[in-house]
C-alpha cells in the first residue's frame, strides 16, 4: 500500500485484501523507496483510534 498518510485513504486496503485474499506486506509513509516500512496491523489499528 502506498500513500499511507490518512486512515480514510488507507482504510480501503482491508476490503481489497479480503476480496483478493492477499496480504499487506509494506506501506509507504513518504515519497521515496526508503519510506517503505513493514506493515504492522496492530500499529495501524492503534493509529486509527488514537488520532
- The per-residue pLDDT for range 1-51, each reduced to its tens digit, is 655 555 555 667 778 888 999 998 888 877 888 888 898 888 877 877 886
Instruction: Report whether 4 contacts 51 (CB < 8 A).
Output: no
- The set of residues, in sequence order, having a beta carbon less than 8 Å from that of 1 and lying 6+ positions away, is 10, 13, 24, 26, 27, 28, 39
Q: How far is CA 46 from CA 4, 12, 16, 25, in A?
A: 14, 17, 20, 18
Q: Which grid cell sits at 30?
A: 513518504
> Where do the domains of the chain lie?
7-50
| The pLDDT value given to residue 17 | 86
Residues paired with residue 26 on neighbouring β-strands, in sequence order: 38
Does pTM surpass 0.75?
A: no
Amino acid at each position: 500500500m502506498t500513500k499511507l498518510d490518512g486512515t480514510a485513504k488507507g482504510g480501503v486496503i482491508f476490503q481489497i485484501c479480503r476480496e483478493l485474499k492477499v496480504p499487506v506486506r509494506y506501506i509507504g509513509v513518504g515519497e521515496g523507496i526508503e519510506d517503505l516500512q513493514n506493515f504492522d496491523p496492530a500499529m495501524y489499528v492503534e493509529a486509527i483510534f488514537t488520532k
